[in-house]
């Protein structure tokens, strides 16, 4: 609850976003880890405590409390410009030892000005002794709110002031089918959004070659364990996201119903016959999806190729037969499956951007449902735009 209160107050939010260790407790604001010098010229750390009035916004008093020894100059003499009173009492679970007074002519307009002013005065002598000291620690803030999807607070979105735009992902359930090179990078990006559930589908083992085309760096010991892909990636991304849900299986005609509750599906599979079955099922269920493809070949001792991102939605799917391959080439048993980390990563990034556009996070003026990136000419091409609603209704009836 304290983080929600902080987010609603511009001055408290600014303190948190700049890295101060702030905590709201009852009617008080606590600022931890304030470096200071004591009377024997030792560097210590104290806690500032101030009354908090979020209703009126402006601090009602210029006085602030301090838990610790009296802050001194670097020679051990007391900082007299803030000297006010010595009193030991408990406030918000902290024992304070002193009260300080440093009042501007018109008082403090907000809590950021008040806290930062006292922090600057108290910490300056300590920083002159050791310039690496700081009260801005950017300490990890656990997110214990009932609806939290992350294990710690998303200060990145808070600093960028896009928390309200992130709400576009509320209520979504995302499925990623296939955790090869592209699918694993999609997970890496989706796990950093506030979607409530991320479902992983793959029945394969994490092999040595996977380590060279997926995010992060698997250890030799992890690869030797022959871990299931879903177990390996769930372990990693559950450190950040609370609801990464593994399904140690391939998606087949027999278990396709597991996708019924999904909001969006990323299809990252190698077999085109499997791709076709999944696409047709999602169309019947009117579940939007994004299918990815990567084709790379060797020409004149260099690599050329194309990345593909194809979306299917109830508003646009008549292009799919021309864009998504649906048959397996069983005769080409010696064909090379060339995948390289940066290409997998770019393919995943384009797919996630498309999903975010479909979700309303990014502006989407063209509403393209098919994009390709050609490596050798550095060309990104968009095609297959949304057609009229009349045609949409006709096509939906034909699929049903």
Find, among 44, 38, 92, 47, the residue nearest to 65 by Cα. Answer: 47
DSSP 163: H
Start and end residues for every CATH 3.40.50.720 domain found in the chain:
164-399
Q: Across the strands, what pairs with 266?
A: 176, 290
User: Could you list the pLDDT tens digit for every one of the 400 residues in the chain?
Assistant: 467 778 878 999 999 999 999 998 878 999 999 999 999 999 999 999 999 887 777 898 999 999 999 999 999 999 999 999 998 999 988 999 999 999 998 889 999 999 999 999 999 999 999 999 999 999 988 877 778 899 998 888 888 888 889 999 999 999 999 999 999 999 999 999 999 999 999 999 999 999 999 999 999 999 999 999 999 999 999 999 999 999 999 999 999 999 999 999 999 999 999 999 999 999 999 999 999 999 999 999 999 999 999 999 999 999 999 999 888 765 443 346 789 999 999 999 999 999 999 999 999 999 999 999 999 999 999 999 986 444 445 555 655 5
Pairing label, strands 21-25, 289-299: unpaired
pLDDT at residue number 325: 85
Query: How far is 314 from 264, CA to CA, in rounded Å?
Result: 12
CA distance readout (Å), 254 to 251, 258, 308? 8, 10, 28
Q: For 63, what's the count of Cα atoms within 13 Å in the CB-facing half-sphere?
A: 8
- Per-residue confidence (pLDDT) for residue 327, from 0 to 100: 82
Please choose, from the candidates 129, 153, 135, the residue with its C-alpha nearest in 3D space to the C-alpha of residue 7.
153
pTM of the entire predicted model: 0.84
- CATH among 3.20.20.140, 1.10.150.120, 3.40.50.720, 3.20.20.70 for 164-399: 3.40.50.720
pLDDT of residue 334: 38
H helices of 175-308, in order, are 181-190, 220-224, 229-237, 272-285
Report the Cα–Cα distance between both ends of the chain, in Å, rounded.
47
Helix, strand or coil for residue 239?
Answer: coil
What is d(CA 53, CA 191) in angstroms, rounded to the nearest whole number?
A: 36
């Amino acid at each position: 609850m304290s983080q929600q209160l902080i987010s609603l107050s511009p001055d408290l939010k600014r303190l948190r976003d700049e890295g101060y260790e702030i905590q709201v407790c009852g009617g008080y604001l606590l600022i931890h880890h304030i470096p200071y010098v004591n009377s024997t010229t030792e560097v210590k750390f104290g806690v500032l405590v101030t009354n908090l009035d979020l209703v009126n916004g402006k601090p009602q008093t210029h006085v602030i409390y301090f838990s610790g020894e009296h802050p001194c100059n670097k020679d051990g003499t007391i900082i007299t410009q803030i000297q006010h009173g010595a009193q030991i009492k408990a406030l918000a679970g902290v024992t304070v030892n002193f009260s300080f007074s440093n009042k501007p002519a018109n008082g403090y307009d907000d809590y950021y000005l008040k806290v930062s002013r006292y922090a600057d005065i108290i910490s300056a002598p300590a920083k002159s002794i050791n310039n690496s000291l700081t009260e801005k620690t950017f300490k990890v803030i656990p997110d214990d709110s009932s609806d939290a999807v992350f294990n710690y607070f998303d200060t990145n979105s808070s600093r960028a002031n896009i928390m309200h735009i992130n709400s576009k992902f509320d209520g979504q359930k995302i499925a990623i089918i296939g955790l090869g090179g592209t699918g694993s990078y999609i997970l890496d990006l989706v796990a950093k959004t506030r979607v409530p559930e991320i479902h992983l589908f793959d029945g394969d083992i994490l092999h040595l070659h996977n380590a060279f085309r997926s995010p992060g760096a698997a250890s030799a010991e992890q690869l030797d364990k022959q871990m299931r892909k879903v177990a390996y990636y769930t372990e990693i991304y559950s450190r950040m996201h609370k609801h990464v849900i593994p399904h140690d299986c391939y998606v087949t005609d027999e278990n396709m119903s597991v996708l019924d509750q999904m909001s969006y599906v990323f299809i990252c599979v190698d077999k085109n016959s499997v791709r076709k079955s999944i696409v047709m099922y999602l169309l019947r269920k009117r579940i939007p999806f994004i299918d990815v493809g990567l084709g790379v070949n060797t020409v004149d001792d260099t690599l050329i190729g194309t990345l593909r991102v194809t979306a299917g939605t109830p508003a646009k799917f008549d292009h799919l037969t021309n864009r998504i391959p649906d048959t397996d080439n069983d005769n080409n048993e010696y064909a090379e499956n060339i995948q390289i980390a940066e290409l997998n990563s770019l393919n995943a990034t384009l797919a996630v951007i498309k999903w975010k556009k479909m979700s309303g996070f990014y502006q989407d003026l063209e509403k393209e449902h098919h994009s390709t990136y050609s490596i050798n000419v550095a060309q990104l091409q968009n095609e297959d735009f949304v057609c009229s609603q009349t045609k949409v209704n006709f096509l939906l009836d034909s699929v049903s």
